[in-house]
Amino acid sequence: MSAKNVFLFAGQGSQFIGMGKDLFDFSDKAKEFFNKAEEIIPGLKKACFEGPEDVLKLTKFTQPGIFTVSVIIDYLLKEKNLKPDITAGFSLGEYSALYSAGVFDFQTGIELVKVRSEAMTKAAEQNPGKMAAILGLDDKIVEEVCKQITDEGPQGLVVPVNYNSPGQLVISGKEKGVEKAVQILETKEAKRAVVLAVSGAFHSPLMEPAQAPFKAFLDKLNLQTPVIPVVMNVTGKETQNLSEIKDLMVKQLIAPVLWKQSINNLIKQGYKDYYELGPGKVLTGLMRAISREVSMKSFQKLDDINKIII
């Protein structure tokens, strides 16, 4: 395979105060994207550019903010003739990946992200839960402990949900289940088992109430077949089948993010040039843990884009 480019898009947790401000000041197109997003989500620009942190980390601002910054960087890179042959995104980042591949326009993307985050917030209120990151253990050990606790009864529901990189797996579920899993996994010599500061048990069956309202909105939309393949979180494999993509977007709410598997599948196919688009360098860090044999560049600010020579 000749060198082909993979665009990767980060999810929630990669935000920082000031994200997108340099892009907004520099580019008329960036202003257009941010102003359109602001119409749909008032207060978004101020949250992204000025914070404070407790406002920016509200899901209603974080998710559309990350999506908007990612889309602007995607536009500016393509303008410099750096284009993807395939895309992938982590959780929320899947929406930036689908946008980049031409599945929907920017306004539709913002509205999808808004409806998804509202549905997830409501589900988290209905079914409170937690998430925790488990570091330094084999996936099988974590999976077995989660199954054992879940089998003890519904109050202990806990499942593996984010397969980030070798030795980094996030679990999600009921408060009691997650806390018990953390205690047990610490005795099994996990390097760290850390409860995460999130507002719900995302990607777990506790998010099921979010699926119906999200699907109802999705079904109304006129989406396009992607012009390049998109690697989907639920399968870890690429597709250009639109009905499959829509199905997997709904499933993603309650299914694990198979990130490590997605990247390994791309590497096996011979993809060597990877670019992380959007705030933060979360995916660049995960890539180092997955493989050091590939090229990885991160674009989160205007300076990063200006370094590209056409």
Task: Provide the annotated active-site residues.
Answer: 91, 203
Going by their DSSP bridges, the two strands 168-173 and 130-135 should be labelled as antiparallel
Residue appearing with tokens 């500016």: 76
What is the sign of the dihedral through the CA atoms of 100, 103, 107 and 112? negative
Task: State the maximum Cα–Cα separation within the chain, in Å, rounded to a whole number.
Answer: 59
User: Which residue, among 97, 144, 82, 3, has the nearest Cα to 306 in the 3D structure?
Assistant: 82
| Inter-CA distances, 70 with 205, 261, 279, Å | 28, 23, 7
Length of the chain: 310
Rounded to 5 degrees, φ, ψ at 118 are -65, -40
DSSP bridge pairs for 135: 168, 192
